[in-house]
Amino acid sequence: MGNDRAKTRSHQAVLLANASQILTLWAPSPGPRRGPALKELSIIIGGAVLCFAGKIVSVGTTKEALRDLWLKKNRKTVTEIDCAGKVVLPGFVDSHTHPVFVNPRLVDFEKRIEGASYEQIASAGGGIRSSLDAVRNAPKKQLADTVLTAFRDMAAHGTTTVEAKSGYGLTLESELRSLAAIRDAASTWPGTAVATLLGAHVVPQEFQGRSQKYVELVCTEMIPRAAREKLAQFVDVFCDKGAFSPAQTEQIFAAAQANGLAVRAHMGQLSETTLAPFLRFKPASFDHMDHVSDSDVQQLAKNDTVATLVPGANYFLGLKDYPNARRLIDAGVPVALATDYNPGTSPTISMAMAMSLACTHMKMSPAEAIAAATINGAWALRLADRKGSIEPGKDADLAVFAVNDYREIPYWFGANRCTHTILNGILASGD
């Protein structure tokens, strides 16, 4: 999504110099990172990155950067950031968030502490359905302000690209309003937002017992309008017990495809669904993936559909088990990490927190967590030609962390060590 203010201001040149480490994430082989390639960060010690007009111009050692003739001539016009003692990496690509909600779900929070499960709370009238009224009644401006606050908070924590879903309105009008709020927030934020229609989040109360009628509304009205009005790039479905069936998900994917929208889905969060039949729709990602069969793991290893793991949800629901990242990575499935920012299961905007959980509870190495949060997130959004690594010609999306060694990013959990974020060439300071 575009940003006029950002476009004019991005003509400034920015030099990040003297970094302890620059994690370029460059790789010789094309495609999403799998298996051993997931831990290749291609680190430059004592590095510098030069950005101009919103793009990365060069990356190398600081010595090399300072020999650049253009830089020598134009040094006075360049904004310089001394990154001594710091790590520079590609801005995080948070490829799964639900930021269009109004209220935190504090009653659900307390009920879970008292022992109720996510599904018990949902069937007793809490859960996603309890977030709908407030979104249905909120003016677009209020929703856009809320989303913009989340985007800014994310940027302060090192995120430069965000996938943002609708899904808490679940009427034609409120889903389109939610998507328009994402568009409006994106237009005043220098980062990059990718909008996803999640009209198929759950069946709303007024369609209870008539879920097929609701699926028709999603397929024949929501998807065509979102596509025609260019409000979404992706269509998502919560395919699980208590939400939408595999047959309904196929129907929704087919409608998305017919309207020129790409697809992704919440899969295997609460129960296992057979994934292979969906691969003909070339989904950009399957998200959660707590439950997945061996034969589907083998299928996914041969495809570019990314398994996006969201350990914040397991943490916040107080679950003992986490998605089996090792099994997926070791089989060759491309794995991404995302926050799943939402009021019910994962109220965090912090990618560093998601990475920390991936290291401590899913046995991903810090290097794997970094690649999953950057370049593979970019693959999950089909933006890897522009995002996710520090290479000349790519968008100038960078995060600077006040740590000497990248392994400290997931190590210092619960603290924000991000000092600067560059979003499409525009500097946002976390100081």
Binding site for Fe ion (CB under 5 A): 340
The yes or no reply on residue 313 touching ligand NIG (CB under 6 A) is yes
Which residue sits closest to Fe ion, CB atoms considered? 340
CB of 336 to Fe ion, least distance (A): 13
The yes or no reply on residue 266 touching ligand NIG (CB under 6 A) is yes
Q: According to CB under 6 A, which residues from 161 to 190 bind ligand NIG? A: none
User: Which region among 138-146, 150-158, 337-345, 421-429 touches ligand NIG (by CB under 6 A)?
Assistant: 337-345
Residue 334 interface partner, choices ligand NIG, Fe ion, none, CB cut-off 5-8 Å depending on type = none
Residue 268 interface partner, choices Fe ion, ligand NIG, none, CB cut-off 5-8 Å depending on type = none
Which residue sits closest to ligand NIG, CB atoms considered? 344
Torsion on CA atoms 170, 231, 142, 337, rounded to nearest 10: 80
The candidate with the shortest Cα–Cα distance to 228, out of 251, 249, 258, is: 258
Residue 352 interface partner, choices ligand NIG, Fe ion, none, CB cut-off 5-8 Å depending on type = none
Residue whose CB is less far from ligand NIG, 343 or 425: 343
Residue 368 interface partner, choices ligand NIG, Fe ion, none, CB cut-off 5-8 Å depending on type = none
Residue 313 interface partner, choices Fe ion, ligand NIG, none, CB cut-off 5-8 Å depending on type = ligand NIG
Residue whose CB is less far from ligand NIG, 98 or 420: 98
User: Which region among 87-95, 228-236, 342-350, 387-395 touches ligand NIG (by CB under 6 A)?
Assistant: 342-350
CA distances to 149, 319, 404 from 88, in Å:
24, 33, 10
Residue whose CB is less far from Fe ion, 170 or 402: 170
Q: Which of 345, 350, 374, 424 binds ligand NIG (CB under 6 A)?
A: 345
Helix (H) or strand (E) holding 305: none
Write out the E strands in 218-278. Answer: 234-239, 262-267
Q: According to CB under 6 A, which residues from 380 to 419 bind ligand NIG? A: none
Characterize the bridge pairing of strands 13-23 and 43-52: antiparallel
The candidate with the shortest Cα–Cα distance to 229, out of 28, 1, 72, is: 1
Structure tokens given for 252: 């929704």
User: Which region among 76-84, 179-187, 274-282, 341-349 touches ligand NIG (by CB under 6 A)?
Assistant: 341-349
For 291-302, letters b (16+ CB in 10 Å) and e give: bbeeebbebbbe
Residue 345 interface partner, choices Fe ion, ligand NIG, none, CB cut-off 5-8 Å depending on type = ligand NIG
Secondary structure (3-state) at 425: coil
The yes or no reply on residue 90 touching ligand NIG (CB under 6 A) is no
Residue whose CB is less far from Fe ion, 108 or 340: 340
**88, 396 contact by CB (below 8 A):** no
CB of 55 to ligand NIG, least distance (A): 33
Report the length, in residues, of the chain.
Answer: 431
CA distance 287 to 266: 5
CA 177, 179, 185 angle in degrees (round to 5)? 100
CA distance 249 to 303: 19
The yes or no reply on residue 340 touching ligand NIG (CB under 6 A) is yes
Strand partners, 286: 265, 307
Q: According to CB under 6 A, which residues from 102 to 131 bind ligand NIG? A: 127-128, 131
Residue whose CB is less far from Fe ion, 184 or 287: 287
> Residue 60 CB: number of other CB atoms within 10 A?
18
Q: According to CB under 6 A, which residues from 234 to 263 bind ligand NIG? A: 238
Residue 238 interface partner, choices ligand NIG, Fe ion, none, CB cut-off 5-8 Å depending on type = ligand NIG
Secondary structure (3-state) at 112: helix
CA distance 407 to 405: 5
The structure tokens 């039949």 sit at: 277
CA distance 108 to 127: 7
Spell out, one character per residue from 11 to 40, where the chain touches ligand NIG: x when CB under 6 A holds, - when not.
------------------------------
Residue whose CB is less far from Fe ion, 129 or 417: 129
**137, 72 contact by CB (below 8 A):** no
Structure tokens given for 334: 């491309």
DSSP string across 230-246: T--SEEEEEESTTSB-H
Residue whose CB is less far from ligand NIG, 175 or 397: 175
Number of residues that bind ligand NIG (CB under 6 A): 13
User: Which region among 8-16, 137-145, 336-344, 370-378 touches ligand NIG (by CB under 6 A)?
Assistant: 336-344
For 105, half-sphere exposure in the C-beta direction (CA atoms, 13 angstrom radius) is 28
Site for ligand NIG, rule CB under 6 A: 98, 127-128, 131, 238, 266, 269, 313, 340, 342-345
